[in-house]
Structure 1
Amino acid sequence: MNFSPAGVLNADLHCHSSVSDGTLCPEDLAARAQANGVQLWALTDHDEVGGQHRARAAALSLGLPYLTGTEISVTFAGETVHIVGLGFDPDDAALVDGLARTRGGREARAREMAEGLARVGIRGAYEGALKYVGNPELISRTHFARFLVEVGACRDTQEVFRKYLTEGKPGYVPHRWASLRDAVGWIVNAGGVAVVAHPGRYKFTANEEYALFSEFREFGGRGVEVVTGSHTQQDYVKYAALAQEFDLLASRGSDFHSPDESHTDLGALPYLSGTLRPVWEALADRVHLPS
């Protein structure tokens, strides 16, 4: 398959399964991507590669080309930033070990979140969140949000985050993740390309954002998500220009988590601008093709 030019490929290189905080298993996600017209797919579970072999097998059985993926949580300038890795060896020992260490603090953080919610009258949140967790090592705010909707504390998960799970709210507990240097290094050393995920979501000043991309490039990062589910039209324009300014490859991904929660479905994004160099061009030899 020819993976260029950018404007004609429906690639979706960012989504989540029940191996992290999505609601569909890797096999069902592959089927949904294929049914929605996706032409190149990657599963990018948070801090985890445990679903990669299943996702690849399912995609290839459907005739869908596949790239390995993950989304690594990073602390930078006091904010949580996500770095997507694409096209790496999912069995690379250093990557697997690094992701395991990044996941390590989630249980203690989750119990603190539950204590904060109990203080405002929402009891049993830790046990309730666990009902929605496919992998207990990856319990997250999303799982708590689903429980709070279940018990009627809020109408939907977006309301839960606004009222309970963002900074300054009763259930918010910060966590220190991997360093930017480590996350990019694990991806690159495993043969992949590192991509800054959904940069429009971060609350950085202009100087902090410039520092993020400068250090990212210095450590070996090569890409940025330009078109993604949480970006506006204005963000598309801004980060297309930033990709050119920093000589970065452009990526595209829905960040799909659930049919009931996600604003953007797999394969439903606008195409990348033809003026950008898509990340899949640099990963053509790492794409798994159906036989």
Structure 2
Amino acid sequence: MIGVDLHMHSNFSDGELSPVELIELAREKQLLTLALTDHDTIDGNVLAAQHAALHGIQFIQGVEISSFWHRPSIKKTHAVHIVALNMQNLEPMQQLLLKQKQLRAKRALLICEKLQQILKTDFLPEIRELVDGHDERITRSHIAKVLLKRNVVTRAQQAFDRFLKEGKAAYVPFLGVEMVDAIAIIHQSQGFAVLAHPTKYDLSATNIRYMIEQFAAAGGDAIELPPANTPLSTRQMLDRMVEQHQLKVSIGSDFHGAHMPWLSLGHVPKLKDGQQGIWEFFEL
């Protein structure tokens, strides 16, 4: 048992558990090292760090940054998430996250406006209840929960399929920081830049390889390994890219809560022989 999980979410973004509850679950799962990586916020990290210390769990400063990059095959931008880990100087990151939060709040309101036009109902008050009035914490998952509660859809995924995903009527793109700039700011914060879940972006194998190539060229430090149930050919491709670009690897469950039971806290993939875990290089 490796006891490391470097990707998880609390209710400071789109997770179900509070930072304290998350640490309690991590203790039950016998985790030794973890990072809280909420979307574009480190607001939950202080609570998580304090509670982790009480239980002898090594806490790593983390955040998942929403960024974008340019696909080579068609003229469009594509969302990509960069996880920042083990930041030692938070000031540069806090400046970026302030801008990201403002963009997140604006995007959430635009989505709600579109839904109101389509469905003739204002869902915003109920959505705000889920995030204690913090518009910058609203994600599409929160919106999907309310649509499910109001019987607009029969399951949360249907909300994405009908309204919220790219190409649907209520979709609003999130154009935050560019990937290369996110990596630079992570390094200014004396942290490590990790390409999160590289196989989850609905990209062809060719474009995944191109994305990793661009990530490495921009100074990215590590790739997050895919779940254990990933097709062998996909895992082998990523392993080759790690070796080719001399990248380190990271592991994380991307745990959100009971509403995503397929993502279990502490359930992380195994490293291939010769791969270096990014946590081995942390300054603690």
TM-score in terms of structure 1 length: 0.88
How far off its partner does 1:206 sit? 4.3
Greater displacement, 235-244 / 46-55: 235-244
Q: Which runs of 5+ in 2 are unaligned?
A: 71-76
Identity of aligned residues (%): 29
**What are the within-5 Å matches in structure 2 for residues 16-165 of structure 1?**
16-77=9-70, 78-89=77-88, 92-121=90-119, 123-134=121-132, 135-165=134-164
Name the structure, 1 or 2, with higher relative contact order (CA <8 Å, separation 6+): 1
How far off its partner does 1:82 sit? 0.1
Alignment partners' CA distance in 1, 2:235 and 2:50: 32
How far off its partner does 1:232 sit? 5.0
Match of 1:15 among 8, 31, 49: 8
User: What SS does the corresponding residue of 1:84 show, helix, strand or coil?
Assistant: strand
Change (3 A) 1:232 1:56: farther
Change (3 A) 1:233 1:17: farther
2:276 maps to 1:277: yes
How far off its partner does 1:15 sit? 0.6
Change (3 A) 1:39 1:227: farther
User: What SS does the corresponding residue of 2:184 show, helix, strand or coil?
Assistant: helix
TM-score in terms of structure 2 length: 0.90
RMSD: 2.0
Alignment partners' CA distance in 1, 2:233 and 2:152: 34
2:183 maps to 1:190: no
User: What SS does the corresponding residue of 1:271 show, helix, strand or coil?
Assistant: coil
Q: Is the 8 A contact 1:14 1:255 kept in 2?
A: yes
Q: Is the 8 A contact 2:212 2:241 kept in 1?
A: no
Q: Is the 8 A contact 2:5 2:33 kept in 1?
A: yes
Q: Which runs of 5+ in 1 are unaligned?
A: 1-7, 287-291
Greater displacement, 182-191 / 211-220: 211-220
How far off its partner does 1:11 sit? 1.1
Change (3 A) 1:95 1:230: farther
How far off its partner does 1:214 sit? 2.5
Alignment partners' CA distance in 1, 2:162 and 2:120: 13
Aligned residues: 277
User: What SS does the corresponding residue of 1:69 show, helix, strand or coil?
Assistant: strand
Q: Is the 8 A contact 1:227 1:236 kept in 2?
A: yes
**What are the within-5 Å matches in structure 2 for residues 120-269 of structure 1?**
120-121=118-119, 123-134=121-132, 135-228=134-227, 231-232=230-231, 234-269=233-268
